[in-house]
Chain A
């Protein structure tokens, strides 16, 4: 089955700096890669996703890149703000099967 590895497990950045979180996946059949943000005590919130036919996608301060050959994808957050502090999860699936395999999560702390 699919295996998703996520690094780093914790990340601290100064407000205004950029943050990058990386994930690798094992199943070449995976074609859908979402990122979720989970604040303490809250539900995971979908913040951005990318499909395998696209190399990069951007939404304001958030971008995701995908390298299918190397089987890795990354989340980039620019101009970080304290409200970006949360746990971020990457995931992978062969999209038509709504079966997400999640990475282990990254605790992002933005220091004011």
Chain B
């Protein structure tokens, strides 16, 4: 099976702009979780989507949002970008049910200037 894919891989945006990142999970995986990775804060959970519904949300401001489509692909959006939003954004997919393993995509490196 193909692994988790994310697009774009790199992105440079200006403060105040908004950005949309995309994640395609492993075929058959219906859960998609998003994480932010920074040198200072490490890996932090943003939110999780399952069957087009947000099931869990981390401690991030409302500028961070997401959605999931019927084919399980997910997008996350960050509005009104701040310099501190510069990070590697990772998504992870997992199968439904009792298998808890999450497999990560390569990430999108977002730089806000």
Contact = CB atoms under 8 A, between A and B. Distances in A.
B100 A43 contact: no
A49 B56 contact: no
B72 interface: no
Contacts of B35: 100
A97 B43 contact: no
Contacts of A36: 104
A43 B33 contact: no
Contacts of B101: 34, 46, 49
Interface residues of A, number: 25
Interface residues of B, number: 25
B103 A102 contact: no
A98 B42 contact: no
Contact of A99 (B56, B98, B104, B107): B56
B33 to A, nearest CB: 5
Given A97-B55, A98-B94, A32 B100 contact: yes
Given A43-B107, A99-B48, A104 B42 contact: yes
Nearest to A45: B104
Contacts of A97: 48, 55-56
B43 A98 contact: no
Contacts of B94: 98
Given A43-B107, A44-B104, A49-B100, A99 B90 contact: no
B43 A44 contact: yes
B102 A100 contact: yes
B42 A34 contact: no
Contacts of A49: 100-101
